[in-house]
Structure 1
Amino acid sequence: MNRPHIYRGQKVPGVFQRCKKTCPALRCDVHTWSYHVVLPAGPDGRRPQLTKAGFGTGREAMKAREEAATAGRNGKTSSKPKLTFADWADRWLAGKVERGELRPSSHTAHRNALAHLKRYLGTKKLKSLTSHELTETYAAIIRDRRAEIEAARATGGKASRPISAASITRIHTVANGCLRDAADAKFIDHNPAATAKKPKYQGSKVKPWTPAQARQFLEFLTSTGDRLVPLIHLAIHTGLRRGELLGLGWADVDLDAGTARVWRQRVTVAGVVSVVDQTKTEAGDRLVPLFPGTVAVLRQWRAQQNRERLAWGPAWNDGGWVFTREDGQPLYPDTVGRAFRKRTEQAKLPRLRFHDLRHTFASIALNADVSMPILSKVMGHTNPAFTSKRYAHLSPEKHSEVMRAVGEELGSATG
């Protein structure tokens, strides 16, 4: 039976002592006191209930109940006190996928990041997770991976790749989003990731080719009759991402108007190539103007592709893609990346990733006095501030002009 707590001659709702029928009718000194409270409605419209036992007196239980009710009204009480980090992480990721908030590659990255975190924090109660525990987890991920690599080398086994500070930064970003949403949903009263410490990470500086090196590479490819010429030409002259280039269809290209519509990507996720009907960001869906020389290159390429279509006959794969193999099959992202590295070595140029052609485009544009906001739109960045932060150091020639101009002014003033 439940014995109610009497305070000033009145029964206190939600405060009781769980007793047996054999317990004294007026007072029991054996069993502890409990409280039950119905919290305000959550985001789903339901009113969660919270029950807690183990109090020595009815007054202690009554006071705790009042505190829980006040915290609930202020949005500071977890309506899921037994919810673990792993439970919430799985639920959070599934919700983002269901709402279409993650591209396939982002989904894989989020899942991998959460797998690292769940290995150490999976059974931890969500409401009791602290920023210090997250900080220690980041260090443990690096330390334990290093130990695994050393053990594999000692036994001659296959060693995993090290976990870098950059990887921990990405894991922290996922943790921050996950726990921020948990706080917004009132499952926890604050986001512990907001104050967690992660290893110091210094992003690598972009080192693009100069215009002369870019021209040298295109001339080298042209001299060898390489079928990657139009792809590389478009990459250098537009700054499109590799996935955006490989996701282009001829229906997206208007050679008469000199434009290309960018709205999808061809990406590799967990070894599987797929076409995603969305760009990396919302701003990535854009109409890109084409330089007349680029239009000419694409016209020549389409003529070559038509000749290959006739040569292959019914065996031609008519997918409508701009960049293909001889049989019409679309080019795969990883294959393009490997081919680019090989040709870079053959041309005896500084080694670059394919993505660095995008940085080369940005560098050339900045040195040609293209404004940062315009460059940001052309490149499909959501925020011009990101473009500025990423590429502000890529115009040493312009920096020299500033110094020369200032020097001349000072020289004339002191002359």
Structure 2
Amino acid sequence: MVYAGLDPVTGRRSYLRETIKGADDAAWRKAENKLVELRARVLKQRAATSSVNLSYAIDEWLRTADIEQSTRDGYMGYIDRVIKPILGETSVSKIGARELESLYAQLRRCRKRCDGKPFIEKHKGDGEHDCVASKCEPHECKPMAASTVRQIHSIISGVLNAAVRWGWIESNPAKIAQRPKQKPPEPDPPSPADAARLVEAAFEMSEDWGTLVWLVMTTGMRRAEVAGLRWSRVDLDAEVIEVRRTYVQSKGKGKEKDTKTHQMRRLALDSETVALLRAHKKYCREELAKVGVELTGDMFVFMSARKTDASVPYSPDAISRRYKKMAARLKPPIDTHIHALRHFSATELLTAGVDLRTVAGRLGHGGGGATTLRVYAAWVAASDRKAAEILGSRMPKRRPT
């Protein structure tokens, strides 16, 4: 046992301990070597290793970290359901790569982390009863998605990074722990024929809904971006839209925030889209005039159906729900996620030969097109093949010798 100083959080005396079994000379020599090793660890430490548990570290990290509220709400779900119940009482100094990898493996096998033996997961109703008569079903292992485990890993890594900065631990074991591999993106955009069916169905429902679907399809805007679009950012004369803000919801409450990449972008509009937006603006002005309200630039382009003053936009969740119902009604059915329209915009541009940087700019991807290339690699390759054919057709013809 070697004294390692005062715990930086609790203020208590901290010790490094190691047990060597045996009473012969070999055991004594091993104990002496271990003592030297422990003393070296104490001298190497910038500060005494803390004995605080992971729950305390998580709370401190959440209190000090600059995290968007919507992101924070998502984190709390993983923290309360998985991380704290499993590792919350474990000291941060005792969490290693092996413990993390073991946790990830268990979650990938069964999200309940069962022991593999059959059991009744829960009873139907209150009190004691006959499981056979009540037809209680035995537990079935359901693996946690790799993307979810990766999210849990990201939270733990962020907490342990903070613990390193605060001098509670020497290094972050999550940096070397292996996490589940990220599944390669497999976008499934609608075909041009399906896109035409979607637009037709949307305009049959209402002109304003059809305009919204059309705008998402032609610009590739995210649902939160189209929800947060205001008329002051739509220049119909210059045929340009400025995407500066988004509208998000958290626990039923909506608010505006920066774009996903915290960057403003300008999107050029085609003449057909401009004509639709002019008609939509006229419609909004007429609807507001019915209740004695004048349309201003601060109002949202797509206002909530429940409001008559355009002070509340069409919420992103409502957009997704309405699109899902519309797509599901089509025969044959089409992908019911509105994000598929963003894929359509990207793939059509790439297939037409538009350069990668321009497509990335319209989509709002960061990294100079790295994200676009990763997601739409197949379409980039097809565009590259088309470019090669075009260049080859322009070269002077050579007869074989």
State if a TM-score over 0.5 links the two structures.
yes
1:109 corresponds to which letter in structure 2? Answer: G
Q: Which amino acid aligns with 1:333?
A: P
- Map residues 9-408 of structure 1 onto 2, 5 A cutoff: 35=3, 37=5, 51-52=14-15, 67=40, 70-72=43-45, 75=46, 77=47, 79-96=48-65, 101-115=66-80, 116-142=82-108, 143-145=110-112, 151-152=121-122, 155=136, 163-270=144-251, 272-283=252-263, 285-313=264-292, 320-326=299-305, 327=308, 328=310, 329-348=312-331, 349-383=333-367, 384-394=369-379, 397-398=382-383, 401=386
- Look up the SS of the partner of 2:290 in the other structure: helix
Tell me the distance in 1 between the aligned counterparts of 2:281 and 2:119: 49
Distance 2:287 2:362 in 1: 32
Question: What is the total number of aligned residue pairs between the two structures?
Answer: 364
Shift of 1:244: 0.7
Structure 2: tracts of 5 or more residues without a match: 20-31, 124-134
Secondary structure in 2 aligned to 1:394? helix
AA aligned to 1:251 is S
Q: Distance in 1 between matches of 2:246 and 2:137?
A: 40
CA shift in 2, pair 1:152/1:199, >3 Å? farther
Give, in angstroms, the shift of residue 301 of structure 1: 0.3
* Alpha-carbon distance, 1:161 to partner: 8.8
- Greater mean deviation of Cα atoms: 180-189 or 140-149: 140-149
Q: Secondary structure at the match of 2:299?
A: coil
CA contact (8 A) 1:34 1:61 kept: no
CA contact (8 A) 1:266 1:274 kept: yes
**Cα-Cα RMSD:** 4.0
Residue 38 and residue 182 in structure 1: after superposition, are their counterparts in 2 closer, same or farther (change >3 A)? closer
1:23 maps to which residue? none
Rg larger for: 1
SS at match of 1:83: coil
Instruction: Give percent identity, aligned residues only.
Output: 23
Q: Deviations over 1:59-99 (max 9, x none)?
A: 99996895355213xx4x5x352121111111112211xxx
Contact conserved, 1:149 with 1:160, CA < 8 A, in 2? no
Task: Tell me, in whole angstroms, the C-alpha distance in 2 between the residues paired with 1:94 and 1:390.
Answer: 35
CA distance in 2, matches of 1:55, 1:381: 51
The alpha-carbon deviation at position 320 of structure 1 amounts to 1.0
Residues 392 and 176 of structure 1: is their aligned pair in 2 closer, same or farther, counting only changes over 3 Å? same
Residue type at the aligned position of 2:183: Q
Rounded to whole Å, the distance in 2 between the matches of 1:318 and 1:405 is 45
Give TM-score, length-normalised by structure 1: 0.74
* Structure 1 SS opposite 2:378: coil
Question: Do the aligned partners of 1:84 and 1:122 also contact (CA within 8 Å) in 2?
Answer: yes
SS at match of 1:260: strand
CA distance in 2, matches of 1:260, 1:170: 34
Aligned residue for 1:145, secondary structure, equals coil
Quote the residue 2:130 is aligned against.
none
**C-alpha displacement at 1:168, in angstroms?**
0.8
Separation of aligned partners in 2, 1:54 and 1:325: 63
Write the distance in 2 (CA, Å) between the matches of 1:307 and 1:186: 63
